[in-house]
Structure 1
């Protein structure tokens, strides 16, 4: 019994001595690994500030810039951790960490597929120069001013002051019309005049009124005018012209002004803008034969 205890004690001592020897031998590597981790921490802080400054100069959304800067800092720290483990000759632990990170990343990606897709879409949208805060856009059946783009959603404010929240991935996957990219817009105006009107005079007067109302229209020849159909109560036409505008509000104001001035000119010239009417015609063909009427009453 005593020999067994003595052997076990000797083995324990040998094990402890081996550990102490290993620690002593790896002290330089340990110190170097600690220095690497410390350096990676400070490099990560500097990288975060630098990336934040660079991204903020291109992306107006602070939330997007912050998340990109944090991801950059995390990448630097993880790289320092892997380097420190390599210095400590812990390659097996490094392999296990990489395998575990891969499995965990796959699980998280599957569980948060929708959230991650919106996050990456938000980052992509933020770097698009053709989509900026304050732009008036139309997408996914909604039209309004872009007031926010974050990691989850694309926020519009419609003309009636309602807020529309759209997932980022829907913005990235669907067409988007941006009215603020150009400084000129085309106004479309549809109307109808009575059948008794002089169509040549209507065309001339309409183009003249538009040219005199808007400074951007230099001459009446710049106004396009087309008769489109013989309507039920009127002969309809389409008139279109260009204005200097960057928002739908300016376009609506221009269309309103054009309608007012055209109505004034038509009233002064005696040109009728008819509303839908129905004409009932009564003539002798509708008269009844007296003899037929008497027979019908007598039979009854």
Structure 2
């Protein structure tokens, strides 16, 4: 009885192996075709990555972002080839299981890395955003400086005090930022005041002459002079003019030069720039000082 069971088991094993062999022989053409298709897609992914890298080289200055994008595209092409190969092998159930498993794993990874993925996608957006490039001077999230690096997680800003600030990409995308380097010309504002005894029309003409000579305007640009109010010790005004500026230091330099030029011109013409003073009128207000007995 035991010998009979052993013989039946061996016969079953041989029958199973024979069935697998027959199935392998029958599916050998599909298997070879699937292997060829997969290898072909691997080669295609390689060339697609090279083409995309050449196309984006002039648009994406950040090497890390460009290389990561190329890797993602190559991975997508290879995955397409993998799924086509499974389809050629008639492994529909395996394909369905792989897709379902990929969905579950992708959901779990997405939930675990929600903040990181947010910064990564924000980094991809910034890499194609012409309003923000390496070397630009920007103000954002309470910081100002030159952009030295943009990667898939953050941007790095070098401030004027030579310190570096690392800001997550999502903060840049969600918050407004000011880029001084996107325009070659900027308007400078200089506030000042002159004494109440001054000839206001003469002050206006003198200031306009000095600024126009110091900072030549272009095209439709013009120097603007406007009195802004009566101050405690002076009649205040603002003068506005255009200069070449791609960073905050250029604006400060323009204000610096304008202040020096205005002060020299006012000194030459005897125009007073008053400082705050306090006058005590004892007679008008009947104020008296009591002497000690």
TM-score interval, smaller chain:
over 0.9
Aligned position for 1:33:
34
Mean Cα deviation higher: 58-67 or 173-182:
173-182
Given that 1:211 and 1:217 are in contact with CA atoms closer than 8 Å, whether structure 2 keeps it comes out as no
Aligned position for 1:70:
71
Aligned position for 2:87:
86
- Give me the whole-angstrom Cα distance separating, in 1, the residues matched to 2:160 and 2:193: 28
Aligned position for 2:181:
180
Q: C-alpha deviations, 1:63-115, integer Å up to 9, x for none? A: 11101110111111111111111111111111000000000001101111111
Query: Normalising by the residue count of structure 2, what TM-score does the alignment of the two structures yield?
Result: 0.92
- Give me the whole-angstrom Cα distance separating, in 2, the residues matched to 1:26 and 1:218: 77
Given that 1:190 and 1:236 are in contact with CA atoms closer than 8 Å, whether structure 2 keeps it comes out as yes
Given that 2:123 and 2:153 are in contact with CA atoms closer than 8 Å, whether structure 1 keeps it comes out as yes
1:286 partner SS: coil
Structure 2 residue runs without a partner (length 5+) = none
Given that 2:153 and 2:169 are in contact with CA atoms closer than 8 Å, whether structure 1 keeps it comes out as yes
2:182 partner SS: coil
RMSD (Å) for aligned C-alpha atoms: 2.2
1:185 partner SS: strand
Relative to 1, partners in 2 of residues 1:81 and 1:231: Cα closer, same or farther, differing over 3 Å?
A: same
Given that 2:156 and 2:166 are in contact with CA atoms closer than 8 Å, whether structure 1 keeps it comes out as yes
Q: C-alpha deviations, 1:189-231, integer Å up to 9, x for none? A: 0011122222222111111111111223699x93211111211
- Kindly name which structure, 1 or 2, has the bigger radius of gyration based on alpha carbons: 1
- Give me the whole-angstrom Cα distance separating, in 2, the residues matched to 1:105 and 1:23: 34
Given that 1:217 and 1:243 are in contact with CA atoms closer than 8 Å, whether structure 2 keeps it comes out as no
Query: Normalising by the residue count of structure 1, what TM-score does the alignment of the two structures yield?
Result: 0.90
1:106 partner SS: helix
Equivalence map 1:196-215=2 (5 Å): 196-215=197-216
Give the CA deviation at 1:289.
8.9
- Give me the whole-angstrom Cα distance separating, in 2, the residues matched to 1:226 and 1:112: 55
Given that 2:137 and 2:247 are in contact with CA atoms closer than 8 Å, whether structure 1 keeps it comes out as yes
Equivalence map 1:139-288=2 (5 Å): 139-216=140-217, 222-283=222-283, 285-287=286-288
Mean Cα deviation higher: 91-100 or 127-136:
127-136
Give the CA deviation at 1:238.
0.9
Relative to 1, partners in 2 of residues 1:222 and 1:32: Cα closer, same or farther, differing over 3 Å?
A: closer
1:192 partner SS: strand
Give the CA deviation at 1:155.
1.8
1:190 partner SS: strand
- Give me the whole-angstrom Cα distance separating, in 1, the residues matched to 2:81 and 2:166: 40
Give the CA deviation at 1:30.
1.4
Give the CA deviation at 1:288.
7.1
- Give me the whole-angstrom Cα distance separating, in 2, the residues matched to 1:178 and 1:231: 34
Are residue 112 (structure 1) and residue 113 (structure 2) matched? Answer: yes
- Give me the whole-angstrom Cα distance separating, in 2, the residues matched to 1:217 and 1:7: 101
Give the CA deviation at 1:117.
0.9
2:273 partner SS: coil
Give the CA deviation at 1:15.
1.1
Given that 1:210 and 1:217 are in contact with CA atoms closer than 8 Å, whether structure 2 keeps it comes out as no
Given that 2:138 and 2:177 are in contact with CA atoms closer than 8 Å, whether structure 1 keeps it comes out as yes
Q: C-alpha deviations, 1:229-252, integer Å up to 9, x for none? A: 211222111111122333322222
- Give me the whole-angstrom Cα distance separating, in 1, the residues matched to 2:58 and 2:289: 89
1:222 partner SS: coil
